[in-house]
Amino acid sequence: MSPWFWICFSSLLQFAYSEKRNFQIVIDEIKMRNIDPEVFEKLDCDLWQVNNRSYYNSSQVFKNPVNDFSVHAILDFWKPNSKKIQIYDGTFDMCYFLENVQTNRLFKIYAKGVKKHSSVIFKCPFEPNVDYALNNMSFDEEDFPKFIPLGKFRCTLEYLINKQLSARAFVTGKVIAR
Ligand SMILES: *[C@@H]1O[C@H](CO)[C@@H](O)[C@H](O)[C@H]1NC(C)=O
Ligand SMILES: *[C@@H]1O[C@H](CO)[C@@H](O)[C@H](O)[C@H]1NC(C)=O
Ligand SMILES: *[C@@H]1O[C@H](CO)[C@@H](O)[C@H](O)[C@H]1NC(C)=O
């Protein structure tokens, strides 16, 4: 697993209009599917909960250097008693994103989290046989803006390496009041 599904949460924020910041982001499940074993030597993610807070460790090892990495992200959201809303459907160029994290407030939050929880630098080209791992990652709600809607979400991520679909991640969870 990788931190990329953070993209989904950042897009949540653009949709934000709830009342107060007393919310918590809970991840119920993360499923990873390694589609192209020629690309990923290893790709996994462990999720656990402590005191209603979600933590995860993720690990990602490439077989070859990677310099062309995009993520197609889809974020669906359900507010209580309402139909599915598609909040985001877009493709991110990860190499560009990682090089330009300083240009955007949301990107900076992401970069801060990764730096704190990883011992390697996430940037292109990704080196082969290096574990791009994140340990003990969680979401610090204080890093998020005050307004975020409550409800359930599902995030689907497609990893496109050299423009080929190489892996998929499914993340489900909820934004609850605390
Ligand atoms: C966790 O959430 C449940 C349900 O919202 C609540 O009853 C419980 O008190 C919470 N536990 C902690 C440690 O916050
Ligand atoms: C997560 O990583 C930390 C640090 O490497 C380790 O101590 C912990 O056991 C791991 N937890 C899980 C659930 O894999
Ligand atoms: C993970 O983070 C939590 C809260 O930040 C901390 O209490 C715990 O000791 C950390 N665990 C590891 C293995 O670093």
3-state helix, strand, coil in the chain (%, to 5): 20, 50, 30
Structure confidence by residue, pLDDT tens digits, 68-122: 999 999 999 999 988 999 988 999 899 998 888 878 777 777 788 888 899 899 9
Is the CB of residue 119 below 6 angstroms from any atom belonging to ligand 2? no
> What does the alpha-carbon distance between residue 149 and residue 80 come to, in Å, rounded to a whole number?
10
Compute the C-alpha angle 142/145/151, nearest 5°.
95
Q: How far, in Å, from the CA of 145 to the mean position of ligand 3?
A: 24
Confidence band of 20 (pLDDT split at 50, 70, 90): very low
Tell me, using a 6 A CB cutoff, whether residue 136 lines ligand 2: yes
Domains and CATH numbers, the chain: 5-177 (2.70.220)
Distance (angstroms) between ligand 1 centre and the Cα of 32 equals 28
Dump pLDDT digits (tens) for 34-50: 999 899 999 999 999 99
- Residue 11 pLDDT greater than 80, yes or no: no
**Torsion sign (Cα): 120, 101, 110, 154:** negative
Ligand 1 mean position, distance from CA 47 (Å): 18
Residue pointed to by tokens 């070859």? 64
Distance 84 CA to ligand 3 centre (A): 34
Q: Whose CA is nearest to atom 1 of ligand 1?
A: 52
pLDDT in tens, 115-151: 889 989 999 999 999 999 999 988 777 766 666 788 9
Amino acid at 47: L
SS3 156: strand
State the pLDDT at residue 126: 96
Q: Residue 17 and residue 4: Cα distance in Å, rounded?
A: 24
Residues 6+ away with beta carbon under 8 Å from 102 = 108, 111
Q: Is the pTM of this model over 0.85?
A: no
* Ligand 1 atom with least separation from CA of 51: 13
